Amino acid sequence: MIRFDRMGVRYADATTPALAEVTADIDEGELALVIGRTGAGKSTLLRTINGLVPHFSGGTLVGSVRVDGRDTREHRPRDLADVVGFVGQDPQAGFVTDRVEDELAYGMESLGLPGQTMRKRVEETLDLLGLADLRRRALATLSGGQRQRVAIGSVLVTHPRVLVLDEPTSALDPLAAEEVLATLQRLVHDLGLTVVIAEHRLERVVQYADSVLWLPGDGEPLVTGPPAQVMEVTPVAPPVVELGRWAGWSPLPLSIRDARRVAGPLRQRLSSLAPSDEPADASATGAQPLVRVENLVIRYGGEPALRDVDLETHSGAVVALMGRNGAGKSTLLATIAGLLAPTSGRVVVDGVMPADTPPRELVRKVGLVPQEPSDLLYADTVGAECADADRDAESEPGTCHALLERLAPGVPLDRHPRDLSEGQRLSLVLAIVLTSRPAQLLLDEPTRGLDYAAKRSLVGALKALAADGHAVALATHDVELVAELADRVVVLADGEVVADGPTAEVIGASPAFAPQVAKVLGPGRWLTVAAVREAAGAAS
Amino acid sequence: MRAVHQITMPRALHPGAWWLWALGLAAAASRTTNPVPLLLIIAVTAYVVAARRTDDPWSRAYAAFLKLALLIIVIRIVLQGLLSSSSQGETVLFTLPELPLPDCLAGIKLGGEVTAEAVLAATYSGLQLGTILCCVGAANSLASARRLLAHLPGALYEAGVACVVALTFAPQLVADAARTRQAHRLRGHRPGTLSGLRRTALPVLEGALDRSIELAAAMDSRGYGRTTDADRGSRRRTGLLVGAGLLGIGVGGYGMLDGGAEQWRGLPTLMLGAAVAGAGLAVGGRRTGRTRYRPEPWALPELLVVASGLLAAVAMFVTAANDPALVTMVDPLAVPDVPWLVVAGIVIAIAPAWVAPPPKGASG
């Protein structure tokens, strides 16, 4: 269906090619997963499939890409619209109209299909994607998962043979991600559609894939093959694969089900052991809390975003806030950071009320890394950002840069912040926030768009900060991150706290929030491969 | 009778009908400063919006426009109070301290006596502008501007898409700006400084640029422009004809509504402009290969709604031509007259609350 033949891409002002010598075949009815580090060229590869590279982006393409027999060099993206459906990273940014039904029809209108055909296909697509209840809804009122399904539907109506999605689940909570992936799975199985996905969250998608295209980056050639085979050698792997590799299971299980079926002996062996790093619960020791939230209510207009929320954080401990999109996690962090004033209730951070404290003073108590870290950046170079941060915090020149070196060594000072990788940019923002030495550090969805390597270094950095005596609170959908990092988990739903307790207790047995290791070895206290490895190592 | 002609059958009314109805009321408001018909028009628009709006986010536009109208009236009164002069009447309400101004600004007076005539005249003219705004707000909440743009003729399709994109970007820019300002607080900056403005503008503009590129890529991937490959010449001819026609319509419309002595010149210019623009649209419409999904029907309810709006305008224009004193407040202190014909016309314009089909629910 899709054939890459010694394909390479070089952008106009780049010194090294973005992709080189890519040769691969993706067959009809296959779900192909493209993996690799940030900057390895995943998005570029996807965009060559419908000709956005090079027709839209510029640059030069060598070799050839043929889709359903059409050469993308001779066909512009619009000429491939009836063969390839492309869904970009942010579905919202690609919407042209404002209603679900109109958005579905838009592509067909552009192709000039007759009215009767359009009517029929819109109805079929609404049913296929389970959008019938939403047909007259305004796009702005949809949830993340619904939005993603509308975006998929809007390209399906032209009956493409290939569907290309760039990180379709990275912004979604675990349940919404399941919903989207189940939809894709159905399209592959029922319609024989060829689907190509790029995704960092391997733990979510690798089990559905028929083939994996691994872009190792740094000029190394592309590796392709069946998932179990490629996952044996990649440095990036979801926890279930890591567990399988460590336990020496063969064939390597990719799904929870497969792993559980071979994990019997391991479960037996672990039943007599306990995880060694069971975290000390700071709230139980009666230490003075750093942040105290009492009966907090926040309303914007009508419905309250938070109602009667209580929360405490302690120095040296990591608290994770979990819950659906829109459950109030970001609102709670913004209130602690002083961006929102409580409608009623109290928030006290280290003796002050954040909403009534001047920003200059507040940043010494509490620092927030927002969902879009780049909002905090405005200078032309990394060096200028660091100098500004030092000046703002009235700390010694070089403080911010030293922090950055510790978080992400080797970021060039003359680079524009926009040209950094996601992980480097997050490190830069984290360094800027830490320059004023806040006692409480807050992070909103820090792992969005991060690859495994960047995530690992973030985990290391946050653990070190907590060991230094910082209190860390993060809102996240990433259950694996929570399993590795958090001492305590608070689950929010509909603006209320529904669970608050030690990590293993809260997420260990939850169907939605349990990490893969807990699902394979549980129910129980085993959350990470590292914990299992350590305990087993100590026992033998 | 076919279902589209029934006024009880729930469906969305053609956006063009709502806008023509609102324009009729706005045109009526533009010819009077008499508060009786003006307040009546506001009441009529409010009632119809309450009766026939959907529960989409843009349906809340009317309240925003109403608030804006009140703000305009207040600003108008305050400015008039500050700059009033005794030439506008003798009934002094109170005296403000007068600010001495240099000689080069002779003729302008800041503060001093504030007369009842000046304040009332300002109220009435502010009310007029506010009423026109309420009409636009009503049209916006009954049929979003986007829906109207979807009905642009094929020749104006590209311009329509540009407008739709702009309509999406404006609220997103506001949201981005709010987010960036919050980010500055997080860095410990005080909001509202000049350097803060620069620091806000840059990320916001960068974000907007990124999003437009993303949108362009999405539109290209979905076949935008695939069927409209016309040669440059025909595109230019269309543009010229439509541009000249719109200019004619604008000049003619101004002449008609201006109400000056040369009102008769307005109509032919308007007609000529409409003809030229129509020709341009016909020429340009031929080159597009786009089709339209579920074109909205134009049936009996649409005709009734448009007619009710136009009747209000006609009643006002007839009265203004025959008896101008009834609709213009020559003496602001006098008790306003009640122009019965105008009132009847405006009351008829409330008909859409019943003759327009009820909207379908947003879900379902």
Task: Tell me the mean pLDDT in the region A354-377.
Answer: 88
Q: Which of 46-105 (B) contact A at CB < 8 A? A: 56-58
DSSP structure class, residue B3: G
- My answer on whether B29 and B119 are in the same domain is yes
What are the tens digits of pLDDT across the range A38-73? 778 888 999 999 899 888 888 899 999 999 999 998
pLDDT of residue B180: 83
Which residues does chain B have within 8 Å of residue A122's beta carbon, measured at their own beta carbons?
293
Q: What is the mean pLDDT of chain A?
A: 88
Nearest CA in chain B to A386: B187
* pLDDT confidence tier of residue B262, bands split at 50, 70 and 90: low
- My answer on whether B185 and B321 are in the same domain is no
- My answer on whether B137 and B4 are in the same domain is yes
- Min mean pLDDT across A279-293, B100-114, B246-260 is at A279-293
pLDDT of residue A238: 87
Task: Report whether pLDDT(A281) > 60.
Answer: no
Among B226, B247, B277, the domain boundary falls at B226
Which residues does chain B have within 8 Å of residue A367's beta carbon, measured at their own beta carbons?
186
Task: Report whether pLDDT(B234) > 80.
Answer: no
Which residues does chain A have within 8 Å of residue B178's beta carbon, measured at their own beta carbons?
none
- Distance from the Cα of A53 to chain B's closest Cα (Å) equals 10
Task: Report whether pLDDT(B362) > 50.
Answer: no
Q: Do A360 and B187 touch (CB under 8 A)?
A: no
pLDDT of residue A40: 83
Task: Report whether pLDDT(B32) > 50.
Answer: yes
> For residue A326, which of A171, A184, A442 has the smallest C-alpha distance?
A171
Task: Tell me the mean pLDDT in the region A341-369.
Answer: 90
* pLDDT confidence tier of residue B359, bands split at 50, 70 and 90: confident
- Min mean pLDDT across A161-165, A267-271, B262-266 is at B262-266
Task: Report whether pLDDT(B199) > 80.
Answer: no
- My answer on whether B158 and B260 are in the same domain is no
* pLDDT confidence tier of residue B364, bands split at 50, 70 and 90: very low
Which is more confident, A90 or A463? A463
Task: Tell me the mean pLDDT in the region B10-17.
Answer: 90
Task: Report whether pLDDT(B67) > 90.
Answer: yes
Among B246, B276, B295, the domain boundary falls at B295
pLDDT of residue A491: 93
Task: Report whether pLDDT(B261) > 70.
Answer: no
Task: Report whether pLDDT(A284) > 60.
Answer: no
pLDDT of residue B265: 67
- Min mean pLDDT across A104-113, A310-319, B181-190 is at B181-190
Of A86, A134, A376, the CB nearest to B221: A86
pLDDT of residue B263: 59
- My answer on whether B159 and B290 are in the same domain is no
- Supply A138's token pair: 């305004």
Helices and strands per DSSP (H, E), number in chain B: 13, 2
Among B226, B252, B284, the domain boundary falls at B226
- My answer on whether B99 and B45 are in the same domain is yes
- My answer on whether B73 and B141 are in the same domain is yes
Q: Give yes or no for B197 touching A (CB within 8 A).
A: no
Which is more confident, B103 or A110? A110
> For residue A88, which of A11, A177, A155 has the smallest C-alpha distance?
A155
pLDDT of residue B333: 85
- Distance from the Cα of B362 to chain A's closest Cα (Å) equals 5
pLDDT of residue B193: 66
- Supply A168's token pair: 């379709």
- My answer on whether B123 and B12 are in the same domain is yes
Cis peptide before B10 (omega within 30 of 0): no
Task: Classify strands A318-322 and A488-493 as parallel, antiparallel or unpaired.
Answer: parallel
Which residues does chain A have within 8 Å of residue B57's beta carbon, measured at their own beta carbons?
138, 140-141
Task: Report whether pLDDT(A1) > 50.
Answer: yes
In which domain, by residue range, is B101 found? 1-145+298-364
Out of A85-89, A127-131, A235-239, B346-350, the most confident range is B346-350
- Distance from the Cα of B214 to chain A's closest Cα (Å) equals 6
What are the tens digits of pLDDT across the range B307-317? 999 999 999 99
- My answer on whether B15 and B118 are in the same domain is yes
Contacts of A424 (CB under 8 A, 6+ apart): A408, A411
- My answer on whether B121 and B184 are in the same domain is no
Give the count of domains, chain B. 3
ipTM over 0.95: no
> For residue B43, which of B346, B326, B335 has the smallest C-alpha distance?
B346
DSSP structure class, residue A471: E
- Supply B177's token pair: 């700006």
- Distance from the Cα of B190 to chain A's closest Cα (Å) equals 7
Nearest CA in chain A to B162: A96
- Min mean pLDDT across A283-292, A346-355, B143-152 is at A283-292
State the alpha helices, DSSP H only, in A112-238: 115-128, 144-156, 174-191, 202-205, 227-233
pTM check: above 0.90 = no
Task: Report whether pLDDT(A417) > 90.
Answer: no
Report how far residue A132's alpha carbon sits from residue A115's, in angstroms, rounded to the nearest whole number: 19
> For residue B278, which of B254, B245, B251, B247 has the smallest C-alpha distance?
B245
* pLDDT confidence tier of residue B361, bands split at 50, 70 and 90: low
* pLDDT confidence tier of residue B345, bands split at 50, 70 and 90: very high
- My answer on whether B345 and B318 are in the same domain is yes
Ordered structural domains, chain A, with CATH = 2-236 (3.40.50.300), 237-272+508-540 (no CATH), 288-365+438-503 (3.40.50.300), 379-436 (no CATH)
Task: Tell me the mean pLDDT in the region A296-320.
Answer: 88
Nearest CA in chain A to B211: A93
| The dihedral formed by the CA atoms of B201, B205, B208 and B214, expressed in degrees to the nearest 10 | -140
Task: Report whether pLDDT(A426) > 80.
Answer: yes
Q: Do B362 and A138 touch (CB under 8 A)?
A: yes
- My answer on whether B81 and B130 are in the same domain is yes
